[in-house]
Structure formats: structure tokens, C-alpha cells
Amino acid sequence: MKLRKLAVAASIAVMGLSAAALSTPAFAQAKGKAAATSGQEQFFPLLVYRTGAYAPNGVPWANGFLDYLKLTNARGGVNGVKMIWEECETGYATDRGVECYERLKGKHGGATAVQPLSTGITFALTEKAPVDKVPVVTAGYGRSESQDGSVFGWNFPLIGTYWMGADVLVQHIAKKEGGFDKLKGKKITLVYHDSPYGKEPIALLQERAKMHGFDLSLLPVAHPGVEQKATWLQIRQNKPDYVFLWGWGVMNSTSLKEAQATGYPREKMYGIWWAGAEPDVKDVGDGAKGYSALAMQHGAEPNSKVVKEILEKLHAKGQGTGPKEEVGQVLYMRGLISSMLSVEGVRKAQERYGKGKRITGEQMRWGLENLDLDQKALDGMGLGGVMRPVKTSCLDHMGSAWARIHTWDGKKWNFSSDWYQGDEKVLRPMVIATAGKYAEEKKIVRRTADDCKK
Amino acid sequence: MFYRENGQFKTSYKADQQAFAIPQDRWAIVAIVAFAFIGVPLLVDEYMFRAILVPFLILSLAALGVNILVGYCGQITLGAGASMAVGAYASYNFLIRVDGMPALAAILLGGLMAAAAGIVFGAPSLRVRGLYLAVATLAAQFFWDWAFLRIKWFTNNSSSGSVSVADINLLGWTINTPTDKYLFCLGILVAFSVMAKNLLRGNMGRQWMAIRDMDVAATVIGIRPMYAKLTAFAVSSFYLGVAGALWGMVNLGSWEPAAFSIDRSLQLLFMVIIGGMGAISGSFFGAAFIVILPIFLNQMLPLVGTLFGLDVSTALVSHVEFIIFGSLIVFFLIVEPHGIARLWATGREKLRLWPFPH
């Protein structure tokens, strides 16, 4: 009987709580709107993952992102406009990510731009962005065809897409072999995370395989990627000339350990830029020696000016995010640069819509579409030598197709190649064709040159 | 006091056989549905619609489908997510491959395809029971996961395996705003709930329940187990298929097979177990518990933190959310193994005597 009473009480409590839950967000949103009318602050929703299977990679990225926003405020904001933000934990799950986005997009006068750091969430937000007028910035991930800004008006895969990454990897191998004609008959295996993220490069690699006559075999690895015995058994049987690794989180270090166990030379393994950071190789240590990965322009940059500035202005005062030792690591820098691109979008938009004013999502899109970061601007931000100039346009939402390779020497990442540029002759037709198919499915009319000027 | 049946006499068979024989129940249901259709769109904002209500409605429909099979026919399934996937991808293919296909027809056809698939993968239920059947239905989950990931035809040769559809259209009504989506899903959910309620009170539902309670005895009184079990699989998969099509086309807009993974199957099974097996209302309670509670906790904890002057980090919130959510599940299973619906029924029984219990 006592249990019964307890149960009834509990159920009533839960009902009451859920009623409260229903009213909380509405309340919070109302509060956000009220704040916006008075404040001149630029709001960024931060969709991060600090827990779950991918947290080791998600945390440094989020710290870098946050630190750059803090640094911008410490530098006095963008023409006096301060950055504000709110974090929401997605756990890399698409449905939670969408919920986070819905929760934050209306707060503090509206989101400026959103960066979900997940291809799955990007796919879902791509549907929502045009309606809500919030740009989706996916620096180095997301859907490759969204480079075509005339169809994907609100997606910005700035400074890198997976097709461009895969293209650079093929170029690098061709260079090593001594020319594209030498690739004929070579065996390349792609070990990929079995999700839209991992499947992105397949289309490009197949195209390149057709062009140069190399054999491409595809080996998917199921989420979260800790079970790869069968995959590496196949690699041992096939003896491919090269292995491309398209993993994320724990999958990368597992792959390297398996490669070590099967005796596959790490020198012949190449990862995408998401498989080329400290958390991927740290645990493997010497076992990963010789393994190379793409560097999305930047590598680990502990000596760059911007990092020193962050250490001095934030971490020295105890205002930094995360451990001091991780500042300047690969994923930290990736977050920092992603954040910088958003901030620069705001700056550009202010040039047109009024300096020192708050920028709306729609104005932000113009800003991102007209980004023009030359060497001088980069030097001024302390990013000279870290990355190359970026220039976007209405039709090209990527802005820069440069990448290089870095190699793990057992202790740190070192650059091991020159700069490469994704081949427009291969990429552009694929982007146009795939984006066209999407436009047809979704019944989207391409933006014309006049639409772009608006 | 308010919930007395004294003095309510039924003078005809028709009155006695109504879906809700007690007028209070009837009016309460009508009031809730009317409120959902008229009141809710006036009251809530976009966030509620898109992040909470639409997922809640669609997953309620899916949980109803699972409840028909698990709660009413006693056949455990771990392939619910697969049925949703079949519904979603089948309706997607109908929509893009057949010119001029109306969206609603595509959704229902998707449901029918899921029903057909459900019959095929339900066939092992004729031989095996209980946990063994659960393992057999797992085959459906893995098969369809594989099929939609690997067979290009299903995804219209999309390079990354994810598909997307334009806003759907119902007799000139373009469903694109959050309110439209909510009303569309609500309309389908109400229609399907009414259908389920009547199906379960009728001949077929009684057969299923007889099979659930004791299949040998049911066979002895003349119920064909094959027919009863396979119809349960078909109807359940039909519901799941329609829910899957809605999940893909209305809620997500673009999706990949991961949206219907084994996690989804388990989530639906938990909804039914926590909500209440063998009770239609249990599906709604379960869906509410699983969909709304984590989001609520996630938003509430930082507020609680600020109340005590603590700055709660996102990682901590997420950990605490899991702890509380998990312990609530355990709590409910210990205190009321028959689910929230049973709590509700107990409360109602008490209300009948209130304020003068024996």
C-alpha cells in the first residue's frame, strides 16, 4: 500500500514536472527576446559534445571555438559589438542536436550562425536553415555539394569539403608514385565510419578511380568504431597499396592499433583531417609513427601568435576554456578557426549593414558570402602561417581549397608536404551535378546573380 | 465525487458497447483532442512544436504500433525501427518514382509495404516464442539497416546514403510550418488511435489477447495462431511504417538509415514497457516519458544550478541527466512494473471512491 502511494505521488510529480518543462522553454525564449531589444550583442548557439563516444575530439574543438569568442571580446568585440553564446550538449546525436538548435535559435534576438560539428546534424539543419534564415557553417565537414551556394544558400562548408580532402589525398599519392598515370592498377582501400560523414568521399574517390584506373575497395566500420577486426583481416588479405582512413573519435585510434596488430605499414595510411589530431594518435604513441593525415590548412600550432595571445589574455587570467596544455592542438585550432570565420562573417556584414550594430542571420549570410580574408587580415589576427587567404562568393561557399599533409612522429604532428589545391576540374562538375539533383528533389530554384546581390 | 458512475444506466447494447462507456471518460477524451487541435496551436511556440510535440506525436504512433504487437499479442519485437525504416524509405520511393503521387497516399503505401515486410519477418513467431522471438526479429533490424545502407536503388543513388524530400502537400495544403506539421501528425495520430481502439475491442483484438494470455488455450477455443500472430505483425508494422514515413518526411525532412537504428527499436520497446503494455494510453505516456523527460532535465538542471549559485557545465548536465533518467526508469519498473498507464488506472479507481473511500 505504501508503495502504491509512493507510485501515485511519483506519477503526479512527473506530470507536474513535464507541465513545467513545457512552459520553461517558452519562458526562456520570451526572456531572450526581451534582452535582444536592449542589447547590442551577437549571439552564437554552440552545439557541442563534451560527453559520449566522440567527446575526446569534441571537447578540444569546443574549447577552441569558445576561446576565440572570448578573445574577440577581450580585443573589444567586433567594432564594439560583444559576442555572447550558450552551450548545448548534443552528444553527436542528430535528434538531440536538432532539439538544441531549436532551443537556442531564437534566444537573445536570434542565432547569428550555427556550427554543429556533425555531418548528421548538418543534414538535418540544412532543411531548417532556409526557413529560419540561420547560416549553417560547417568548416571542413558537412555535405560536399553544399559548396554550391546557388542551391545551398545557407550552408557554408568553409575552407574544406570531404570531396576536396579526398581529392588532395589522391593528388598526394599520385605525386609520391610519380604521376597520375602510375596510379593505374594500384589498390586503394577506404576504411570509413558508416555514416553520412564516412560516405561523403566515396563519390569523389570513385570518380578519380575511373579517371586513373586504380582499384577502390570500401570497408565500412559501424558506429562507434571499436570493432574492426574483420575490416583489418580483409586489408591483410587484399594488401592494398594505400589505406584512406575516414574515422572519427575512438575509431581512429582503433584503426591504428589494428594496423599495428596486422602489420600494415602506417606510412601507407592517410587520414582525413578529422583523423589527424592528438586524441587519435596519442594513445597509440609510437605505434602510429609514420601515419599521415590531411591538415585542413592548419596543423598543431602551439607557436602561432593567436595562441600566444590567448594564453596571455585568457588562460593567464584564468578565463580560458579547458586545460592550458591543449591550447594550440589540432582540434583546438580547428575550433578556433571555425569560430574566427563566424566572427569575420559578422565583421564583413557590419561593413555593409552598419558598423557597431547587431547582425541578423540574413545579414550574416551576406557577410559569409563575401568573406575576403587576405594575408594582411590573417596576420593581423595572428593567424599568419596558420592558414591561407579565404575568399568566398555567392556561388562558392567554400572559399579556399588548400590543404597539406602532416605526419605523426610518435610525439607530435609535423608537416610533411607542400600545399595542395583541390582540382576544380574534377570537383566543380560533381558539385554542380549533385547540387542540381538536390535542387530537383527539394524543388529549389537556383539563385541567380541578382539574388546574390541582395 | 466527479467521477461517479452511480445512476448511469445503460439501456441498450449500443450504449454498453461504446468505446468509452463512462460519459466522464468520453468527455475528457473529446476535450483533450479538442484542446490538442485548437488550444495547443494558440498557446505554444515554434520550439515546442518542432522539438517536442511533433516528435512526441510521431513516436506515440510508433509506440502504439509496438504496443499492439507486444502489449496485446504478446510477441516481443526488436525490429520496430526496421519497420519504421521500411515505411520511410518505401514512401520516399513512391513519392519520387511515381509522378503525381499524393503525399498521404505515399505515406499509407509506405505503411502497407512495412506491413508486408512485417509479415515476412513475423513468420518465425509461429515457431519460437519469447526471448528467442526477440532475437529472430533482430534479423529484421539488421537486414533492413543493411539494405538501406548498401542497396543504392532504395536511396535513389544518393552518394552519402541520405535522402531528402520536399515539403509534402495534402490536397493543396502545403505542410511546411511547424503548426501545419503538428496538425497533420495529430490528425493521423487521432485517426490511427481510434482505429486501434476499435480494432482491439473487436474480433481481431480479442484473438490477439487470447494468444497473448495462453496460446494453447486460444488454439483450443478455435483461434488460428498463424492468422492471429501474422495479423498482429502486419497491423503493428503498418502503424510503425506510417510513423516512420512521418518521422522521415515531416519531422526530419532528410534522413539516413541511422535515424531508424537498433537504438530506435529499443527506445520504442522501452516506451511500451514504461508506458504500460496492453494499454493504448500507455503508448502516449511512454512516448512522453522518453521524449520529453531528457529534454526537460537538460533544461532544468542549469536552472537548478543557478538557484544554488553553481555554474553547471554542459558535460555535467548531460551526465546528471543520464543518471536521473536511468534511475527514474528503474524506479518505475520496481514500483509499478505494469507501467505508467497502470498508475493512471489506479488513480482513476481511487477517484471513483473519492472522497469517501471504504
Domain ranges of chain B: 44-353
Compute the 3-state secondary structure of chain A and give helix, strand, coil in percent, each to the nearest 5.
55, 15, 30
> What is the pLDDT at residue A1?
44
Taking CA–CA distances from B52, the nearest residue in chain A reads A99
Using the predicted structure, report yes or no on whether residue A173 has a pLDDT greater than 70.
yes
Domain boundaries, chain A: 33-161+301-403+432-453, 162-300+405-420
What mean pLDDT is predicted for residues A389-394?
Answer: 91
User: What gap in Å lies between CA A215 and CA A220, rounded to an integer?
Assistant: 16
User: What gap in Å lies between CA B4 and CA B49, rounded to an integer?
Assistant: 36
Question: Band of the pLDDT at A272, cuts 50, 70, 90?
Answer: very high
β-pairing verdict for A82-89 and A242-246:
unpaired
Question: Band of the pLDDT at A2, cuts 50, 70, 90?
Answer: low
User: What are the cell numbers at A135?
Assistant: 547560416
Per the CB < 8 A criterion, the answer to whether A143 and A122 are in contact is: yes
Q: What are phi and psi of B22, to 5 degrees?
A: -90, 125
> What is the pLDDT at residue B174?
82
Give the model confidence (pLDDT) of A235-247 as tens digits.
999 999 999 999 9
Using the predicted structure, report yes or no on whether residue A454 has a pLDDT greater than 70.
no
> What is the pLDDT at residue B185?
94
Using the predicted structure, report yes or no on whether residue A38 has a pLDDT greater than 50.
no
User: What gap in Å lies between CA A312 and CA A304, rounded to an integer?
Assistant: 13
> What is the pLDDT at residue A406?
93
> What is the pLDDT at residue A29?
39
**A298–chain B nearest CA distance, Å:** 27
For cell 577581450, name the residue.
Answer: A74
Say if A33-161+301-403+432-453 and A162-300+405-420 have the same CATH topology.
Answer: yes
Q: Which of A399, A390, A396, A391 is nearest to A431 (CA)?
A: A396
User: What gap in Å lies between CA A347 and CA A343, rounded to an integer?
Assistant: 6
> What is the pLDDT at residue A21?
46
The list of chain B residues with pLDDT below 70 reads 1-2, 159-160, 358
Give the model confidence (pLDDT) of B40-70 as tens digits.
888 888 888 888 999 999 999 999 999 999 9
What Å distances lie between residue A343 and A58, A67, A114, A386, CA to CA? 20, 12, 12, 17
Q: Is B295 on the interface with A (CB under 8 A)?
A: yes
> What is the pLDDT at residue A27?
40
Our CA dihedral for B92, B97, B103, B104, rounded to 10 degrees, sits at -80
Partner residue opposite B314 with nearest CB, options A17, A50, A123? A50
What ipTM describes this predicted complex? 0.81
B149 interaction partners in chain A (CB closer than 8 Å)? 194, 220
Interface test with B, best of A119, A121, A199 (most B CBs within 10 A): A199
User: What gap in Å lies between CA B288 and CA A17, rounded to an integer?
Assistant: 12
CATH code linked to domain B44-353: 1.10.3470
> What is the pLDDT at residue B189?
96
So what's the architecture of A33-161+301-403+432-453 in CATH? 3-Layer(aba) Sandwich (3.40)
Structure letter (DSSP) for residue A288:
G
> What is the pLDDT at residue B314?
82
For cell 582540382, name the residue.
Answer: A423
Looking at per-residue confidence, does A213 or A442 come out higher?
A: A213
Q: Which of A2-11, A299-308, B186-195, B326-335 has the highest mean pLDDT?
A: B186-195
Partner residue opposite A200 with nearest CB, options B160, B253, B331? B160
Q: Do A24 and B299 touch (CB under 8 A)?
A: yes
Q: Is B306 on the interface with A (CB under 8 A)?
A: no
Question: Band of the pLDDT at A31, cuts 50, 70, 90?
Answer: very low
Around Cβ B25, how many Cβ atoms within 10 Å? 15
- DSSP secondary structure, B226-283, as one string: HHHHHHHHHHHHHHHHHHHHHIIIIIISEE-GGGGSHHHHHHHHHHHHHH-TT-HHHH
What topology does CATH give the domain A162-300+405-420? Rossmann fold (3.40.50)
Around Cβ B4, how many Cβ atoms within 10 Å? 13
> What is the pLDDT at residue A12?
54
What mean pLDDT is predicted for residues A245-266?
Answer: 92
User: What gap in Å lies between CA B216 and CA B142, rounded to an integer?
Assistant: 31
Q: Is B147 on the interface with A (CB under 8 A)?
A: no
> What is the pLDDT at residue A26?
39
3-state secondary structure of A303: coil
What Å distances lie between residue A330 and A163, A250, A443, B202, B322, CA to CA? 21, 16, 40, 64, 30
Per the CB < 8 A criterion, the answer to whether B310 and B322 are in contact is: no
